[in-house]
Amino acid sequence: MAASASGGYSRQRQMGLGDLLLENRIIFLDGPIHDASANLIVMKLLFLQAENRHQDIHFYVNSPGGSVTATMAIYDTMQFLQCDIATYCVGLAASGGAIVLAGGTKGKRYCLPHGKVMIHQPYGEVGGQVSDIEIQARDILDTRRVLNEILAHHCNQPIEIIARDTERDYYMNAYQAKEYGIVDDVLSNPKKPPVGIPIPANKPVEGESAPGTESAPGTQ
């Protein structure tokens, strides 16, 4: 018995932090989303499904976003898997990070009390000949349409609301993100109530409206 315990401790000492987290079905997306980070996330997701198709994956997000194609690689893999994927915003889930956060399993998407979420339209740089600029512009507009439809689907919001809100950087605190539909709940330790809690979305600052409650253009 002692030898077995000693062997387990020795094995843990040899494993890196990422390996220990992966063993507990935890994935952490930290920093910008680019091809290398997305490929690593996709490999981890596929590995965890191969290990157990019926056990949840816990996906923590603290990212300012980044490459759209890399973001979509992660998102598409999440939707492809049979496992439920619980997503957690720790710090910031912006741009592509917000897409990943919202793409978790419905009812299992969370934000910590002081987490922030930001959505916006995709950035794009165009250049070259006039015909090339037209092609690139069409691609950017189509990418924006796709991202808006994804958010509308997962947030259960009208596409008009998403299109309007993503015109500019649109920040939400944890409670506003819950009201908006990006997450399902705000997590905290009941024994350690959070300090400096942001104003919940159903209690807007005087003179301001809660996000997602304004009338869509043309509906008034």
**CA 152, chain centre distance (Å):** 14
How many degrees, rounded to 5, is the angle at CA 77 between CA 75 and CA 81? 125
- What distance in Å separates the CA atoms of residue 106 and residue 14, rounded to the nearest whole number? 36
- What distance in Å separates the CA atoms of residue 155 and residue 66, rounded to the nearest whole number? 21
Catalytic residue check, 95 = yes
Catalytic residue check, 34 = no
Q: Residue ranges of the alpha helices (H) in the chain?
A: 2-14, 17-23, 35-51, 68-80, 96-102, 130-155, 159-165, 174-180
Q: What is the dihedral of CA 19, 7, 56, 99, to 10 degrees?
A: -10
Q: Which of 120, 188, 209, 215 is catalytic?
A: 120
Contacts of 165 (CB under 8 A, 6+ apart): 119, 211, 212
- Can you read off the two tokens belonging to residue 93? 């889930």
30: β partners: 62
Q: Which of 58, 63, 95, 154 is catalytic?
A: 95
What amino acid positions are annotated as catalytic residues? 95, 120
